[in-house]
Structure 1
Amino acid sequence: MSESRGKQPAPAATQVSPPPGAAGEPTGDGGSGRSRLRLSRRGWTLAFSAVLVVVFAMLGAFVRVPYVALGPGPTYDTLGAVNGEQVVSVEGQRTYPTGGELRMTTVSLNDDVTLFGALGLWVSGRFAIAPREEYFQPGESDEEVRRQNIQQFRDSQSNAEVAALRRLGYPVKVVVKEVVSGSPADDVLSPGDEVVAVDGRRIANEDDVIAALKGTRPGQTISLTFRHDGQPARTESVRLARHPEGTQGFVGFQPIDRADVPFDVDIALEDVGGPSAGLMFALAIVDRMTPGKLVGGEHVAGTGEISEKGQVGAIGGISFKLVAAKEAGATAFLVPEGNCAEASAQAPDGLRLIKVSDLDGAVRALENLDAGRPVPSC
């Protein structure tokens, strides 16, 4: 009985089908060859996706994007030394001990930015990403920009020296900074020549040159008295051309004030660009050449472009410089008046902002700070 129950006969009308894939029987997916083809397409899709991921990763990691990264740069104590060499030194004239710090600040600019690098820097919160064209002119190479920045830095050093020595009562002279090619002055003057007189008018500062040429006309002949390379002064006549931006006569040289002193002021700091260190250099020169300690034991940082007459101009990147100063241990920061609004909105906690508009005001502010008296604030 048990055996008969285990072998029930199939109904007569029922057909037993061969298993899928058997000879002569189609499979549910159209055959074994097409099944392998579908798997092959899936594999190709995965492989292609993987290639795309790798290519994107390579592009993001290695291909530069047209942006620059701006952030806090290094700082330098203008009263201290870098690599064993005094940043500001005076040779041939008496100097005095200093104390504390007068720290110039910088902004770092990274032009070698990849997509992933830019994202990482932006997410960090310490850097800003800006279009490259805001800092590099079309067709301008990195080397050209570097040379321009270095020249601006050297000009700031010269301006700082003149402003500081002028404040200390030393005389200045007017020299030729640049001569326009093909101009009336081109065959007469050379860069570095001292300008003694223009059309008989004695020259004491660069503004005197502008005043002497005011009211002249193209075609008029004037005299230039100058001193070349320490030689005795001589006078030459030149015929004025038409001024490219006005109706008055055009002689074609740029005058600039320079200190007229028998000693040397040396600023030994390389690989730094831009004009914004002028104020801190000028303060360091004043501090070294006057009795007493201008900042006492304070750690003061700051920034500001300076003119030969001591005017302090606004600069860029103030927010990054404030961060750099705070991280370097500064407790007070000298801010150009034109940057006060921006600085006040972004100053780190614990960093005192001191407003300055010229070298005289900056010196007085530091003296008051050291003495515990009120100082102008942003």
Structure 2
Amino acid sequence: MPRRTVTMLASTLILIALLCAGVFIKVPYSEMSPGPTFDTLGEAKGEPVLQISGRKTYPTSGHLNMTTVRVTGADYRMNLVEAVYGWLAHDSVVVPHDTLYPDGKTEEQSTQENAEEFSQSQESAKTAALRELGIPVKTRVVVSTVLKNSPAEGRLHAGDVIKAVDGTPVKDPKDVARLVTRHKPTEKAVFTIIPAQDAAAAEKAGKEPVGSKDVVVTTKKADDDDRAVVGIQAGPDHTFPFSVDIKLVDVGGPSAGLMFSLGIVDKLTPGSLTGGKFVAGTGTIDDAGKVGPIGGIEMKTVGARQAGAQYFLTPEDNCAAAAADIPDGLTLVKVEAIDDARKSLEKIRGGDTAGLPRCTTG
């Protein structure tokens, strides 16, 4: 057999062996890729994403799409070939597995956490939108979660309204932790609460909850330092003057907050925020309307452009990363709060795109 033929055969066999090895070699990486987008002004699975009752709404046009990212599951282990392909592909990102699932977090735990963040983002989106329009929203501090086997278990319950700690009125969830940590571990903290069932009954009747009571909880030392804790997480609970429901399933995380809030504003105000343009975007939002950064920005811009978006509302802190590789035909618009997002949409609507605050790599 000629030497050249032998060399080519040997090279082919070696290549096949390497490919086979690559298929079986598992690597500690996961993959992110563009997920579907959803128009907050439109429908998902046959029903409106935003459903408002008890308040006049107005026709809308164009798109205000929220964006998503697909990720490989916690239990899935990429092989070497998949990882190399992902590194070379333009429309996916390969990241260390622990980036998506830190501390050995399971897929079930990650899904639950994402669902909780998604629910909270909806509440903040509603609050930010209504406050942007000058519509009053009542807010109170409640027990969000009670940790198992903690001092508070059986004494405080999710949904309890926290009026005061040790007689000091509570106005913000952060006040609860601040007041509890004034204690030393094993000291007693006095919570003045309205039980969850009483608060829920009053809200259903359209009344202010009354009938507070004191609950004494003995503090303990935190697991990671010397702080005194009782094992609860406090959070805000909002009462809206009319019904705003967000109907979207199989989506998690907090990154749709900005687009939900803009969709609500659009439906509650005459005219169209977009002027019929296709706008997509991302970003967390807090009750005051401040926009925060998110993960997977490069995948979200790709997904938005694939869906047909012309403009992409980008959190300021994500601008540099997004601007490093902008999909052709997509304009990245920098936003810091719901107010300047509305101002940018006004420019888009009026065709004044030269005046838009754009993302740059600098």
Shorter chain as normaliser: what TM range? 0.7 to 0.9
**CA distance, structure 1, for counterparts of residue 319 and residue 128 of structure 2:** 22
Partner Cα separation in structure 1 for residue 106 and residue 150 of structure 2: 29
| Bigger Cα displacement from structure 2, 324-333 vs 177-186 | 177-186
Contact between 1:213 and 1:249, CA under 8 Å: does it hold in 2? yes
How high is the sequence identity, in percent, across the aligned residues? 40
The one of 324, 335, 341 aligned to 2:303: 324
1:72 offset after TM fit, Å? 1.8
Is 138-147 or 260-269 further displaced after alignment? 138-147
Paired position in structure 2 for 1:228: 196
Q: Cα RMSD over matched residues?
A: 3.3
Farther off after superposition, 232-241 or 264-273: 232-241
Q: Could you tell me how far apart the structure 1 residues matched to 2:111 and 2:189 are?
A: 40
TM-score by length of structure 1 reads 0.76
Question: Do 1:277 and 1:305's aligned partners in 2 also have CA atoms closer than 8 Å?
Answer: yes
Residue 149 of structure 2 corresponds to residue 149 of structure 1: no
Q: 2:215 aligns to what? A: 237
Aligned to 1:23: none
**Aligned-pair CA distance for 1:352:** 1.7
Contact 2:38 2:67 in 1 (8 A): yes
Residue of structure 1 in register with 2:6 after alignment:
none
Q: 1:52 to 1:143 in 2, by over 3 A?
A: farther
Query: Is residue 2:319 matched to residue 1:340?
Result: yes
1:283 and 2:265 matched: no
1:107: which partner in 2?
69
The question of whether the paired residues in 2 share the 8 Å contact of 1:122 and 1:129 is answered with yes
- Go from structure 1 to structure 2 and tell me whether the alpha carbon gap of 1:285 and 1:202 turns closer, same or farther (over 3 Å shift): farther
Q: 1:265 aligns with which of 231, 244, 249?
A: 244
Instruction: Determine the C-alpha separation between the residues in 2 that align with 1:147 and 1:87.
Output: 21
Q: Is the 8 A contact 2:181 2:229 kept in 1?
A: no
Gaps of 5+ in 2: 1-9, 202-209
The verdict on how the C-alpha distance between 1:70 and 1:246 changes in structure 2, with shifts beyond 3 A counting, is closer
User: What SS does the aligned partner of 1:272 have?
Assistant: coil
- Once the two structures are superposed, residues 38-66 of structure 1 have per-residue CA deviations (whole angstroms, 9 ceiling, x without a partner) of xxxxxxxxxx9999887765555577543
Find the aligned partners of 1:173 and 1:138 in 2 and give their Cα distance.
Answer: 33
Q: Which one has a bigger Cα radius of gyration?
A: 1
> 2:103, 2:230 → 1: CA distance?
32
CA change 1:131–1:201 in 2 (3 A) is: closer
Give 1:74's aligned residue.
Answer: 36
Deviations 1:99-149 (A, max 9, x none): 211111122223554443344444432222223232224644333333333
Q: In the comparison of the two structures, how many residue pairs are matched?
A: 334
Contact preservation (8 Å) 2:124, 2:286: yes
Change (3 A) 1:122 1:365: same
Match of residue 125 from structure 1: 90
The residue that corresponds to 2:140 in the other structure is 173
Report the CA distance between 1:330 and its aligned residue. Answer: 1.2
TM-score (norm 2): 0.79
Letter in 2 for 1:225: I
Residue 353 of structure 1 pairs with residue 332 of structure 2 = yes
